[in-house]
Amino acid sequence: MKKALITGITGQDGSYLAELLLSKGYKVFGLKRRTATPSFENISHLLDNIELISGDLLDLASLIEAIRISQPDEIYNLAAQSFVTDSWSQSAYTGHASALGVTNMLEAIRITNPNIRFYQASSSEMFGKVLEIPQIETTPFYPRSPYAVSKVYGHWITVNYRESYGLFACSGILFNHESPRRGYDFVTRKVTDAVAKIKLGLQKELFLGNLDAKRDWGYAGDYVKAMWLMLQQNKPDDFVIATGETRSVKELVEVAFSHVGLDWTKYVVQDPKLMRPAEVDLLLGNPKKAEEKLGWKPEVSFDELIKMMVESDLEKIKAKKYIK
C-alpha cells in the first residue's frame, strides 16, 4: 500500500487530495498544526480514514518526526499562508511559512529519505504583473505581493533541491481553483456566500474591491488530480495547471447573482479599502504541457463551478438557519 503525507490537509486542496488518494488505496497521513480551536470542517468526513500527525512547517524537527511516523512514498506540501491580502500585513510570517517552510520540508526529506517524491504547491501569483499572455512554465515571474514572492522562493528551492540532490521534486504552478470548501476570504466564496445570504434575506449588500481583475478559475477537485499525476511520472518536472480561460471579478459576480435570479448591480458596493497595494490584473494559463505529458484536462466549467458553490452555500445556510 502506498503512503502519502499531506501538509495543509485541513485546507481546501488537502481535503480533495486526501479523498483522491484514499480512493486510490493510499494510506493517508496529514500534518496538522496546533491551533486553539481546530477546524476540521473540510475533513470531518475523512477523520476515520486518515491519520493526523501534529507538526508545523516552521518546525523542522516536527517534519522529520512526521516522516518517521508516516514513512511516506509521497509528500504533498500544500500548507501555506495562502491569503494574498494578509501577506502584506503579515509579510515576514508569510515568508517563514510559505517560503522557508518549503526548505524545511525538503531538508526533512533529504535528511530522512531522499527517495520520497515531493510536490510543491506553487502558484500562478508568481507571474504577477504578467510578462507574457497566456502564461506557461517558462514565462518569467514578476511577483506582486509578499505571498507571491514567498511562492517564487518555494518554487526555486524545489527546483534547486531537484538539481542539487536529485530529489524527485515537482512544482505545480496552479492557477486559481475553487470549490464549496474554499475559504470565505477568497473572492469566489465571499461572493457565493453573500449571494446565498442575500437570496435568503440574511444580507443586504456585498462589499468588494477591484472588479476588473481577471483570473483563470478552475475546480479544485480537478486540480488535485494533476498533483497526483505529477508524482506518477518517470521524471520530476514542473507544470502549469489552468483552464485556459479568464474571467473578471465582475463576470464572476454576474454569474453568481444571476443564478438565483438577482441583478448584481443592486447589491454590490465597491469599497476602496478592499483594493490591494499592488494588484495582479490578469492571469491566464496555458495547460498544454500538462495535457500532453500528464493527460490532464479540467472537467468542470466556470459556470458549473459557480453554480455548484452558490447551491452549496444555499444548502449550508438553510441547514444552519433552519430555512426551507
- In the residue annotation, 142 being an active-site residue is answered as no
Residue 195 or 305 with smaller CB distance to ligand NAP: 305
* Subset of 219-278 contacting ligand GDD (CB under 6 A): 249, 274, 276
Rounded CA-CA distance 186/199 in Å is 20
- The whole-angstrom distance between residue 145's C-alpha and the CA centroid of its chain comes to 16
Does 99 participate in binding ligand GDD (rule CB under 6 A)?
no
Does 119 participate in binding ligand GDD (rule CB under 6 A)?
no
Does 174 participate in binding ligand NAP (rule CB under 6 A)?
yes
Sign, CA dihedral 106-110-112-116, equals: positive
Give the active site residue among 70, 82, 123, 124. Answer: 123
H/E element holding 219? strand 218-219
- In the residue annotation, 125 being an active-site residue is answered as yes
* Subset of 204-223 contacting ligand NAP (CB under 6 A): none
- Considering CB distances under 5 to 8 angstroms, the limit depending on partner class, which of ligand NAP, ligand GDD, none binds residue 129? none
Does 58 participate in binding ligand NAP (rule CB under 6 A)?
yes
Least distance to ligand NAP from the beta carbon of 225, Å? 14
Give the active site residue among 26, 119, 147, 161. Answer: 147
Residue among 121, 187, 229, 314 that touches ligand NAP (CB under 6 A):
121
Q: Which residue has the cell 533541491?
A: 161
Evaluate whether 219 touches 241 at the Cβ level (below 8 Å). Answer: no
> Is the bond into 298 cis (omega within 30 degrees of 0)?
no
Contacts for 312 with CB less than 8 Å, ≥ 6 apart: 180, 192
By 3-state DSSP, what share of the chain in percent is helix, strand and coil, each rounded to 5? 45, 15, 40
Active site residues: 123, 125, 147
Q: Which residues bind ligand GDD (CB under 6 A)?
A: 82, 84-85, 123-125, 175-176, 185-187, 190, 208-210, 213, 215, 249, 274, 276, 279-280, 283
Residues making contact with ligand NAP (CB under 6 A): 7-14, 31, 33, 35, 39, 56-58, 78-82, 97, 101, 121, 123, 174, 176-177, 183
